[in-house]
A and B are shown apart, each in its own frame.
Chain A
Amino acid sequence: MKSLRQEFADTVLDLGTEHEDLVVFVGDISHGILQPFAKQFPDRYYNIGICEPTIVNMAAGLSMAGLIPVVHTIAPFLIERSFEQIKLDFGYQKLGVNLVSVGGAFDYSKLGCSHHCYSDVALVSQLERSQIFLPGTASEFRELFCSTFENGMINYYRLTENPHNVPLKPETITSGSAVRVISGDDLTLAVVGPQLGNAFDVVSGLSQEGVSVELLYFTSLKPFDSEELRNSVERTGALLTVEELSTRSGLFDRCLRSLAGIDGLMFGQLAIPDFVHTYGTYQELCASIGLDADGIRRKVLEMIEAR
């Protein structure tokens, strides 16, 4: 399966010829796979090094010069460390940028919490002009990036290293639209990013047992498809969100805002409550906080039984 990171490199290479204003900054990651872009457009590719706030700051200067900056590095350094630069240099000044991260949540699972990132989406979502995309596969990234990178907004693309393998029609992946992957009646399961694979397996298995769960998949949190969510939850009366994001501000919060005014709903959330002080594989870290198929199944059944 093609990695999202490789797709990022291929996408900017494809766009670079037509878009002479596209400039890529990296913080000493993905340097190898971006070499085709670097060789073809040497004056538009810069490996600036280990100084993430300055890289983001410099990207604002590119934007002032009328260029389209793409900044790529590891999520905690690109977003959490550099948030004041994102806020002031792009938010306050109304400039455009494309921020492309890897290592969100705990993709760097064996490197410890310094390289984890749970709050990136919550931070970027504070800015009115931000758009937030969490593609779960390479083709989803290409679809979302190509349709948004030159919109002049603060675009954040969080690339997972663990893509899902659920086959979706490419035309269903568009900015601001949810995909109804499986229809159901007893509960709405809303999922973002790579957890779609686990959620799909759980919902498919439960349907064999007569439990009818509706599965909604979100690749963009801003803009957010409130309408699809409301239509679903008004029917099912129960919502469980699954996200590799902080419990405090992510998919669950977006859903709550979207569902305000509907009485009698039941809510559940599977997310990241605090630092995950565990070394191991990505799957092991997910399982340690219930973000795996067992955890999702357990929570779905618990909610349905409690109704």
Chain B
Amino acid sequence: MVKRSGEGHIPSSFSIVDIIDYIYGNELRYDRSNLSWKDRDYFILSKGHGCAALYVVLRKYGVLSDRDIENYGTAEGILGGHPDATRIPGVEASTGSLGHGFPSAVGLALGLRIRDQNNRVFVLVGDGECHEGTVWEAAHVANNLELGNLCVIVDWNDSAAQLMPKDDLPAKWKAFGWNTIEMDGHSTKEYDKVFSGLSYSVVGKPTVIIAHNIKGKGVSFIEGHGPWHHRVPSDEEMILIAEELVS
């Protein structure tokens, strides 16, 4: 996608693709033949620039087609560098500007409670996104409204700490009153343990899972922070990336 179109955030997507895959494959209640099913759970990718990960997962579970993936970033297609919910089936919110998806998810979780429904709302935010004031405004409100149907996953891949190294995210979320859990964000065993231990309720403490992730996970020369954040690989680099991912 990114190579063909010349646009995308590969390391950010590699950081979260494992957890999104797990959520869609194991946690989320949805019906791919009826995406607006009223009893579905919601997943909102608040860090919209990691959307390549969401797109491949939606493809894996039959929501998007190969053609959708092939047409990424083109005028013929529906997919682009940030997701547009008005065009892409299975995408619940149009994100891109950081600090929007999470507060929307808080309103959605409240709205579902008002409607007397027990759907769950999952929302994934970046650690850099946690620099946005609206994240903490929303965290504060969600705790006070006791949105026990809300689960936030923080992609803690140390992006934020490059700029602001005092970045104790677990302490911050705990201070905001959330049920706070840390886990390895690339371990299926950990996912099983953490998600099976969660309980959801219409009224209760919201949960945040702080996932220790690796930016660019899976490709040695992309991992970490640096020029790859918004870089498109060359032909030679694509071969190396493919080799590492296959191995």
Contact = CB atoms under 8 A, between A and B. Distances in A.
A111 interface: no
A40 to B, nearest CB: 15
Interface string B62-100: 000000000000000000000011100000111011001
B247 to A, nearest CB: 41
Interface string B136-171: 011011000100000000000000000000000000
B106 A61 contact: yes
Contact of B108 (A53, A61, A94): A61
A37 to B, nearest CB: 14
B85 A58 contact: no
Contacts of B97: 84, 88
Classify chain A: how many residues form its interface, as a range. Answer: 20 to 34
Contact of B138 (A23, A58, A66, A92): A58
Contacts of A54: 103, 106, 134, 137-138, 141
Interface residues of B, number: 29
B100 A58 contact: no
A107 B86 CA distance: 38
A60 B112 CA distance: 13
Interface stretch (A43-51, A131-139, A272-280): A43-51
Interface in A29-86: 43-44, 46, 48-49, 51, 53-54, 57-67, 69, 84-85
Most buried by A among B84, B96, B115: B115
Contact of B92 (A64, A84, A89): A64
Given A43-B114, A65-B112, A85-B100, A93 B107 contact: no
A60 B96 CA distance: 15
Nearest to B95: A88
B90 to A, nearest CB: 14
Nearest to A92: B94
Given A64-B111, A66-B115, A94-B86, A58 B106 contact: yes
26 contacts: A43-B113, A44-B114, A46-B110, A46-B145, A49-B141, A53-B103, A53-B133, A53-B134, A54-B103, A54-B106, A57-B100, A58-B107, A59-B107, A60-B104, A61-B103, A61-B105, A61-B107, A62-B107, A63-B111, A64-B93, A65-B111, A67-B111, A84-B97, A88-B96, A92-B86, A94-B86
Given A62-B108, A89-B100, A93-B93, 20 more contacts: A49-B141, A51-B141, A57-B134, A61-B108, A61-B109, A61-B111, A62-B107, A62-B114, A64-B92, A65-B107, A65-B108, A67-B111, A67-B115, A69-B107, A84-B100, A85-B100, A88-B97, A89-B104, A93-B94, A94-B86
Interface of B: 84-86, 92-94, 96-97, 100, 103-115, 133-134, 137-138, 140-141, 145
